Amino acid sequence: MPFSQEEMNVMAAEALAVEWVAAVCMTLLIYDNIITFGQEVSTMWLSRWSIPKVLFLLNRYLVVGMLSFNAIASSQTHLPNDLFCIFYLRWLVCTITVTNSVVEGILVARVWALYRENRIAVAIALTFYFSGICVLVGLTVADYIATGPVEAVDDFQQLPGCYARTVPSLIAGYWISPLIIESIFFMMVVWRAAGWWRTDVPVPPTLVLLARDSSVYFLIVFVLLFANLFVFLYGPPFLSSMLVTPSNTAGCIAGSRMLLNMRNLAYGHTDEATTDIEMSGLRFKTRISSGFRSRRTETTSSGMTTTFGASTIAESTTVVGD
Residue 79 pLDDT? 57
Report the chain's C-alpha Rg in angstroms. 24
- Sorted by sequence, the CB contacts under 8 Å of residue 241 that are 6+ apart come out as 18, 92, 163
Please determine, for residue 32, whether its predicted confidence score (pLDDT) is greater than 90.
Answer: yes
Q: What is residue 237's DSSP assignment?
A: G
261-310 residue pLDDT tens: 888 877 764 333 333 333 223 232 333 333 333 344 443 333 433 333 33
Per-residue DSSP letter, 171: G
Distance, CA of 205 to CA of 207 (rounded, Å)? 5
Q: Looking at the DSSP assignment, which residues form a beta bridge with residue 278?
A: 283
Write down the domain spans for the chain.
5-269, 272-321
How confident is the model over 231-260, as pLDDT tens digits? 877 877 667 777 888 888 999 999 999 999
Q: Does domain 5-269 have CATH number 1.20.120?
A: no
> If you average pLDDT over each of 27-36, 173-182, 210-219, 270-279, which comes out highest?
27-36
Element (H, E) at 273: strand 272-279
Q: Of 286, 322, 294, 283, which Cα lies nearest the Cα of 204? A: 286
Give the DSSP letter string of 192-252. Answer: HHHHHHTSSSPPPHHHHHHHHHHHHHHHHHHHHHHHHHHHHHHS-GGGTTTTHHHHHHHHH
Q: Amino acid letter at 304?
A: M
pLDDT of the residue at 184: 92
Cα(221)–Cα(249) distance, rounded to whole angstroms?
A: 10
pLDDT digits (tens, 9 = 90+) for 49-108: 989 899 999 999 999 998 888 888 777 765 555 677 777 777 888 888 999 999 999 999
Q: Round to whole Å and give the CA distance between 247 and 220.
A: 9
Q: What is the mean pLDDT of residues 8-17?
A: 74
Rounded to an integer, what distance in angstroms lies between the CA atom of residue 37 and that of residue 286?
32
C-beta of residue 267 within 8 angstroms of C-beta of residue 322:
no
State the Cα–Cα distance between residues 101 and 178, nearest whole angstrom.
9
Between 12 and 214, residue with greater pLDDT: 214
- The span from the CA of 200 to the CA of 197, in Å, is 7
Q: What is the C-alpha to C-alpha distance for residues 262 and 259, in angstroms, rounded to an integer?
A: 5
Complete DSSP assignment for 72-116: HHHT-SS-S-HHHHHHHHHHHHHHHHHHHHHHHHHHHHHHHHHHT
pTM over 0.85: no
| CA distance between the termini of the chain | 58
- Looking at residue 128, what is its pLDDT? 95
User: In which region does residue 3 sit, left (phi positive, over 0), alpha (psi from -120 to 50) or beta (all else)?
Assistant: beta
